[in-house]
Amino acid sequence: MTREMTGAELASMLKSNIHFKSLGGVRCPALNASPEDKKRRRNMRIGMFIHWGLYSILGRGEWVRFNEQLSPETYEPLADEFIPQQFEMSSWMEIARDFGARYCVMVTRHHDGFALWNSDASYEHFTSWHRGAHRDFVREYTDACRAAGMAVGLYYSPMDWRFPGYFDPVGLAENAALMKAQCYGQVAELVQNYGAIDILWYDGGWLAHKGSDTSSAWFWEPEKLNRIVKEAQPHILCNPRSGWEGDFYCDEGSAEIRGGIIPVPWEKNMCVCSGQSWGYMPDDPPQSFPWLIRMLVNVICRGGNWLVNIGPDRDGRIAEEIRVRMRQVGDWIRAHEDAVYGSTPGPWEPVDDVYGAVCHGQYATLFLLDPSQMASQQLPQIPGLHITEAAIQEADGSLHQIRFEQTSAGIRLELPEGWTPTPADPVPTVRLTADAPVQGRADEDISFTGK
């Protein structure tokens, strides 16, 4: 049975700067993904987000049409200029593989209404197929994902700024109904026409830029909408941004992660660059390598997936410095891949700015955010856990044994004196071996109501 979590218990669980959007969505157990499908998604762990569209031509962010109040006469002709030169989807998949991603999520249509596929349901055929490019980029993307061995994720925004009814869904109900019909038609196209889809990532279910996805559920009828999705794709997983509670929660932005393990499926969504925009902006440098690794560690030690965004330019190109940073992070992930993919958070709760842990088989991996503090700390004793070996795991994956002491009070590690993070290995790692499989914190069936 699903347990609802509210009030003080909810506040305690989320006692951190993790902020889940769209809590309290419509509940419909018949739509819920199976535990096996949720586990499959969690085990992917690393994903690459891609924001690309007409806004990439202007280079001032994906909200440029609304933020600058660009008229239809100014903005919509960009659809005839959106003709990427010498672009192949395989170039994005190369970046995803270098990064260590196991899944991708591409924006198929953002709030501006421009669809990147051959969409008959698109109002006025505002699509890449019917306008300048005459290409179905969703088809190209889904084919490229599968060829690269990536799970396929599609982002879709129900809202559309082209409809006055979006801003006044009651007073302009007939126009708003056209927008809703477009949403249902396009979602059906995406889940019915492109083979197996692993993730449907909604965004923008709120109305008139007020309230939330949840408060607008009366309009979108998300149970009805997502029945279309689940009937076509029984194994798909959806986020909660349609007004239905969804299969996993989302924390958006580059804020540091703090607090304890979150025992529900969740995902950290952020940009590899500054986060000023999800869409392309020139001269937006990537975050530092140490900062990104600390973010990755803080996410997986709390049970989350890490979905990191890139914003290609109008021709689908990614700056070389971003490619280098993605590859650098991927190299670190590959050196610790057993601790990243398929791991479970725990057995120890993370201690902010000191350490976090994951477990996999008979191993527990301890990520030391500040090794200097470990001399004065010991790991809490876990009943039934007996450690037989401890070893430092270098950035190249090699292991060097260290001494440790395990008593009824806990486990104390004897780390090398003066051991500190390095540019190549910003989060030093210790692998602990046990005499039996190590048990971490399993996901629970919890419904956050948002109250």
Three-state SS for 392-408 is EECCCCCEEECCEEEEC
User: What would the pLDDT profile of 181-212 be if each residue is shown by its tens digit?
Assistant: 999 999 999 999 999 999 999 998 999 999 88
Supply the pLDDT for residue 92.
98
User: What would the pLDDT profile of 146-179 be if each residue is shown by its tens digit?
Assistant: 999 999 999 999 999 999 999 999 999 999 999 9
Helices (H), 193-270: 217-220, 222-232
- Match 């197996």 to its residue by tokens: 196
User: What would the pLDDT profile of 58-85 be if each residue is shown by its tens digit?
Assistant: 999 999 999 999 999 999 999 999 999 9
Pairing, β 387-393 against β 151-156: unpaired
449: left (phi over 0), alpha (psi -120 to 50) or beta: alpha
Supply the pLDDT for residue 333.
96
Contact of 103 with 153, CB cutoff 8 Å: yes
Contact of 364 with 432, CB cutoff 8 Å: yes
**Extents of the domains making up the chain:** 18-340, 346-434
H helices then E strands: how many in the chain?
14, 19
CA 310 – CA 291 distance, rounded (Å): 17
- pLDDT value at 421 more than 90: no
Supply the pLDDT for residue 12.
58
User: What would the pLDDT profile of 108-144 be if each residue is shown by its tens digit?
Assistant: 999 999 999 999 999 999 999 999 999 999 999 999 9
- What SS3 state is found at 415? coil
Share of the chain above pLDDT 70, in %: 96
* CATH for the stretch 346-434: 2.60.40
Q: 346-434: same fold as 18-340?
A: no
- pLDDT value at 18 more than 80: no
Q: Which two tokens stand for residue 72?
A: 């239809």
| Average pLDDT, integer, range 234-251 | 95
User: What would the pLDDT profile of 265-298 be if each residue is shown by its tens digit?
Assistant: 999 999 999 989 999 999 999 999 999 999 999 9
| Average pLDDT, integer, range 370-392 | 92
The band of 8, judged by pLDDT with boundaries at 50, 70 and 90, is low
Q: Which two tokens stand for residue 115?
A: 């669809």
Exposed, middle or buried by CB within 10 Å (0-12, 13-18, 19+), for 6?
middle
User: What would the pLDDT profile of 298-337 be if each residue is shown by its tens digit?
Assistant: 999 999 999 999 999 999 999 999 999 999 999 999 999 9
Supply the pLDDT for residue 10.
54
The band of 423, judged by pLDDT with boundaries at 50, 70 and 90, is confident
Supply the pLDDT for residue 157.
98
Supply the pLDDT for residue 15.
55
The band of 445, judged by pLDDT with boundaries at 50, 70 and 90, is confident
Nearest to 351 by CA among 338, 372, 368: 368
CATH fold of 18-340, please? TIM Barrel (3.20.20)
- pLDDT value at 449 more than 90: no
Exposed, middle or buried by CB within 10 Å (0-12, 13-18, 19+), for 52?
buried
- pLDDT value at 14 more than 80: no
Q: Which two tokens stand for residue 420?
A: 């500190």
Supply the pLDDT for residue 395.
81
Average pLDDT, rounded, for the chain = 93
Three state DSSP letters for 279-300: CCCCCCCCCCHHHHHHHHHHHH
| Average pLDDT, integer, range 211-236 | 96
